[in-house]
Amino acid sequence: MADETPRRICGTQNAHMRLLATDPEYVAARGRIENHALEFARTSPAGRSGITLIPVVVHVVYNTPAQNISDAQINSQIDVLNQDFRKANADLASLPAVFAPLAADARIEFKLADKDPSNNPTTGITRTQTATASFSDDDKVKSAATGGHAAWNRDKFLNVWVCPLSGGLLGYAQFPGGPAATDGVVINCTAFGTNGIAAAPFNLGRTATHEVGHFLNLRHIWGDDGTGCNGSDFVGDTPNQAGPNYGAPAFPHVTCGNGPHGDLFMNYMDYVDDRAMFMFTAGQVTRMQACLDGPRATLGTPKPNPTLKFIDDPGPSLKFRDDVTLKFADDATLKFRDDITFKFSDDATLKFRDDGGGKLKVVDDPIATLAGGDPIGPGDPFGPVVNPGVNIGGGRGAQPFILSTPHHSMAWGRSFPEAFQAQVSQYEQQIAQAEQLLAQCQQAEQAGALTDADRQQANQIYEEYQRIVGEYQRMIHGQ
Amino acid sequence: MIVVISTKSDSHATTVLQELDRLGEPATLLDLSEFPLHSRLSIGYSNPEPALFHWNGAGSTIDFSQVKSIWWRRPQPYQHDPALTDTASIQFALNEASEAVSGLWHSLDCFWINDPHRDAAAHRKVYQLQIARQLGIPVPETLVTNDPDRARQFCAIHEKAICKAFSATQTHWRETRLVTDQEIANFDAVRFAPVIFQRYVEAVYDLRITVIGNQIFPAAIHSQQTEYKIDCRMDIGSAKIEPVTIPPPVMTQLRSYMKKLGLVYGAIDMRLQPDGTYVFLEINPAGQFLFIEAETKQPMVRALADALANPPPAS
């Protein structure tokens, strides 16, 4: 009998129980992994900074031609993962305000592999026709001998099998700690991606989000204890919850005394329909990052170049040098002064002037050096470029309210011309300093010498730079 | 002898000193930044002689026991001798200088405009509002907070609200601003430092009311005809400034206010609301007056010189 209102079914817990019963190594590994996860959450070590980029291989295992899903359907799934694991999904706006502080960016992105395990170019997609009409959560799809396709090296790739699954099963994952040959996630081809043969209510790609959550050691949010209140997902910031929620519940749904706000049923690790789930919590992110720090430490790489904004977006900024009203480019005498603030002068940011070594050299150099001919030729990428991470020090940090909202009027310039001119001069010097720092950052970036933290600071400087340029232009143009 | 504590670059000090000279009153400028770098201070107690308060400065010698009035105009920070180089020595020297000189001020039996300690307290904007309220002088609804939620709440209640900083100078210009969506979007940053939020007071005009002893010089600043109507300082160069009269009950309130703060001099900022209410904004115990006098011809330099030359009999 066909189910008129299909409900989410995930086979991860089944696979987990099967491994616990059959694989002593898995049992031992799970113990180690949970201890590590708890310790990680307790001590908040640095873990991986920035964004981890995980190469994905999609093994399409099809019986009928229709199940041989299109590249477009696969790409749509990668897009969903990249939104959901970066807290960039538009439907997050539906999150009840009381839960808003819980939602977190998992800092994980995905891309189809471009090199296979033998380092040959690949599309990141394998396609295998099978005689098997449909699979279950018994891992047969993970071996050619049983009608499927073997896993790629799980230390380097997230294996995603997309195939027909029977019994309404939408997908299942293997928790970390299991056998290499079966590591990865399996998704029903009708619950994968957002187009092609993806079918409502599981056509928004959330099955893969849910299963990759398991793959990174997340448990079902209700704690997998049936409908009791004793199970735990081992995450501190998810409310205790009785059993799974289905469909698209109305907020709030109170169970286990978790009122007034009730279950966090809009979490990816509940059983609601795709359209009703849209967030991970900070505690879940910590658990996933613990997994990347521990059992899946070899998987993924720091995302290269979250890109310096000002490389992509020269904006009004670097053009500014051509502005004839700015004379500083020819002024060889500009140096940092103790009383000049590029806003971050009060904190550690300009500290590098006191730092030892050659780090001072570039910033004390006359602007003319940078403006007229690049002293750091492309042939010498590591030349005098210093790591701006050292230079920029502690970063600009936050600013108090009054200082971080722009002026509403520049009318005072007429009343206090001397003070006004002093401010204009100060801005000009700050702009010059910022351009120097940003130029260094660009050069260091091209030399591959920037860390994520450096980039973050460089982007902060760029934002501050744009703000000052904005204020400066308002003053000059008398707005 | 009259002492004006300020610095040579202060035109208010030099103008009043010229006026005192014209009146034939012996007067001198004392720049505290000369101490202890260039000036020698000696305070002595040896019976049966009277106490010794001797200041031997670079430009002048002052016997403080003969000083009848002091104008606490623009006291400068003390300066140490550059022969001292380590931080501990410098801190120690400056702290000891401060102890000795503060003790001297307390010990003098002279007339102050304004007494340094009353002056310091009166600079506190929260205290200014508190005393104004106590005396029944209308003040705008105010919230000083670093709690973003309370700030949001306040600005939701008041259709037009302003935000301002405790300190704003010409070199670090922080004008009073209307709270717009741009500010509200940034309210999380309120937690970093307290902000003054107030109901915006609509104005017929701003008032600068300079009080010098018993004399009150009210001036209207026609800020609503300038480019920036929120804060009259911003486009003060374009504002018409003229003498104005204020109702006797307001005059009486302001006299009480000065007395309560213990001030002889103060420049009070108020706004005349369209409904006729005079709303108190703040008082500047060391505020400027020359820019007003230049427009209104109200004789404030003379009033200040007179106050210093003719101190009230010691009580």
The domain spanning residue A123 has which CATH number? Answer: 3.40.390.10
- Is A3 among the domain residues? no
Environment class of A48 (CB within 10 Å of its CB; exposed 0-12, middle 13-18, buried 19+): middle
Partner A contacted by B167 (CB < 8 A): no
Do B85 and B175 belong to one domain?
no
CA distance A90 to chain B (A): 20
Query: Which residue is listed with tokens 């000696």?
Result: B42
| Amino acid identity for residue B27 in this structure | A
Distance separating alpha carbons of residues A476 and A38, to the nearest angstrom: 57
Most B CBs within 10 Å, among A345, A407, A408, A414, to test the B interface: A408
Note whether A125 and A191 are same-domain residues.
yes
Q: What pLDDT sits at residue A478?
A: 58
Question: Per the CB < 8 Å rule, is B170 touching A419?
Answer: yes
**C-alpha–C-alpha distance, residues A87 and A104, integer Å:** 6
Same domain, A115 and A239: yes
Do B183 and B214 lie in a common domain? no
pLDDT digits (tens, 9 = 90+) for B158-209: 989 999 998 866 556 678 999 998 889 889 999 999 999 999 999 999 999 9
Q: Are residues B60 and B172 in the same domain?
A: no
User: Using CA atoms, how far apart are residues A171 and A219, in angstroms rounded to an integer?
Assistant: 14
Is residue A4 in some structural domain? Answer: no
- The length of chain A in residues reads 479
Question: For residue A18, what are the CA distances in angstroms to A15, A62, A150, B128, B253?
Answer: 5, 25, 20, 75, 86
**Contact (CB<8Å) B173/A407:** yes
Cβ distance A264 to A99 under 8 Å?
yes
What does the pLDDT read at residue A410?
Answer: 73
Q: Is A465 within 8 Å of A344 (Cβ atoms)?
A: no
Total count of domains within chain B: 3
Domain assignment present for B89: yes
Last residue of a domain, one of B173, B199, B225: B199
How many domains are contained in chain A?
Answer: 2
A401 Cβ under 8 Å from any chain B Cβ: yes
> Do both A332 and A457 map to the same domain?
yes
- CB of A416 within 8 Å of a chain B CB? The answer is yes
Amino acid, res. A15:
A
CA dist list (Å): A139 to A178, A211, A327:
12, 15, 70
What range defines the domain where residue B66 resides? 2-109
On whether the CB atoms of residues A21 and A78 are closer than 8 A, the answer is: no
Inside any domain, residue B314 = no
Residue A153's alpha-carbon distances to A49, A126, A179, B251, in angstroms, are 24, 14, 11, 87
Say yes or no: A334 and A385 in one domain: yes
A116-145: b or e for each residue (b if 16 or more CB lie within 10 Å)? beeeeebebbbebebebebbbbebbbbeee
Residue B67, in any domain of the structure: yes
CB neighbours of A461 closer than 8 A, spacing ≥ 6?
A342, A344, A392, A396, A434, A437, A438, A441
Nearest to A414 among B183, B190, B238 (CB): B238
Nearest to A408 among B177, B193, B236 (CB): B177
Where is the domain boundary, A269, A302, A335? Answer: A302
Q: Are residues B228 and B88 in the same domain?
A: no
Q: Is residue B114 part of a domain?
A: no
Is the alpha carbon torsion for A347, A352, A353, A355 positive or negative? positive
Q: Do B87 and B133 belong to one domain? A: no
Does residue A6 form part of some domain? Answer: no
Domain endpoint, select from A279, A302, A325:
A302
Contact between B235 and A412 using a beta-carbon 8 Å cutoff: yes
Report if residue A154 sits inside a domain.
yes
Contacts of B228 in chain A (CB under 8 A): 408-409, 411-412
Interface test with A, best of B170, B191, B225, B232 (most A CBs within 10 A): B170
Q: How far is B5 from chain A (nearest CA, A)?
A: 24
Per DSSP, chain A holds a count of helices (H) and strands (E) of 13, 7
| List of chain A residues whose C-beta atoms are within 8 Å of the C-beta of residue B173 | 407, 412, 419, 423
Cβ-based contacts under 8 A for chains A and B: 75
Question: Which residues on chain A are in Cβ contact (under 8 Å) with B233?
Answer: 412, 415
Q: Is A130 found in the same domain as A37? A: yes
Does residue B190 sit at the A interface (CB-CB below 8 Å)?
A: yes
The whole domain housing A235 covers 12-302
- Residue B231 in domain: yes
The confidence score (pLDDT) of residue A4 equals 63
Those residues whose C-beta lies under 8 Å from the C-beta of residue A462, and which sit 6 or more positions away, are: A308, A309, A310, A317, A434, A438
Whether B261 and B129 map to the same domain: the answer is: yes
Question: For residue B116, is it within any domain?
Answer: no
On whether any CB of chain A is under 8 Å from the CB of B163, the answer is yes
Q: Do B186 and A405 touch (CB under 8 A)?
A: yes
Contact A185, A151 (CB under 8 A): no
**How far apart are alpha carbons A367 and A348 in whole angstroms?**
23
Query: Would the CA dihedral through A151, A154, A156, A161 be positive or negative?
Result: positive
Residues A137 and A255 both lie in one domain: yes
Kindly state whether residues B7 and B33 are assigned to the same domain: yes
Please write the tens of the pLDDT for every residue from B58-74. 767 899 989 999 999 99
| pLDDT tens for each residue of A70-106 | 999 999 999 999 999 999 999 998 899 889 889 999 9
Q: Is residue B115 part of a domain?
A: no
Among chain A residues, the shortest Cα distance to B169 is held by: A419
Specify whether B80 is located in the same domain as B175.
Answer: no
Q: B136 vs chain A: nearest CA distance in angstroms?
A: 30
Name every chain B residue with its beta carbon within 8 A of the beta carbon of A405: 177, 182-183, 186
Instruction: Confirm or reject contact between B124 and chain A (CB < 8 A).
Output: no
Which of the residues in chain B have pLDDT under 50?
A: none
Cβ-based contacts of B162 with chain A (< 8 Å) = none
* Last residue within a domain, chosen from A302, A336, A364: A302
With CA atoms as reference, report the closest residue to A425 among A361, A348, A296, A337.
A337
- A260 contact B CB<8A: no
ipTM over 0.85: no
- The edge-to-edge listing of strands for the beta sheet with B2-5 is B27-30, B2-5, B69-72, B111-113
B129 and B262 belong to one structural domain: yes
Task: Kindly determine whether residue A400 and residue B171, on different chains, have CB atoms separated by under 8 Å.
Answer: no
CATH code for the domain of B277: 3.30.470.20
Looking at residue A465, what is its pLDDT? Answer: 80
| Closest A-chain CA to B170 | A419
Q: Is B9 on the interface with A (CB under 8 A)?
A: no
The answer to whether residue A205 sits within a structural domain is yes
Examine the domain organization and report whether B127 and B40 are in the same domain: no
DSSP A253: B
Active-site residue set of A: 211
Answer yes or no: is A74 within a domain. Answer: yes
Give the model's pLDDT for residue A24: 83
Contact A302, A53 (CB under 8 A): yes
Alpha-carbon gap: B226 to the closest alpha carbon of chain A (Å): 9
Count how many residues are written for chain B. Answer: 315
B295 and chain A in contact, CB less than 8 A: no
Same domain, yes or no: A125 and A46: yes
Residues A287 and A436 in one domain: no
Cβ neighbours of residue A198 closer than 8 Å, sequence gap 6 or more: A73, A76, A190, A191, A192, A205
Contact between A393 and A348 under an 8 Å Cβ cutoff? The reply is yes
Nearest Cα of chain B lies from the Cα of A405 at a distance, in angstroms, of 6
Are residues B261 and B292 both part of a single domain?
yes
| B281 shares a domain with B304 | yes
A-chain CB neighbours of B165 within 8 Å are 402
Whether residue A80 sits in one domain with residue A161: yes
Same domain, A284 and A404: no
Are A185 and A317 within one domain? no
Using an 8 Å CB-CB cutoff, list chain B residues near A411: 226-228, 234-235, 238
Closest approach of chain B CAs to the CA of A413, in angstroms?
8
Spell out which residues of chain B touch residue A399, defining contact as CB-CB under 8 Å: 189, 192
pLDDT < 50 positions in chain A = 1-3, 306, 311-396, 479
Q: Are residues A267 and A414 in the same domain?
A: no
Domain assignment present for A325? yes
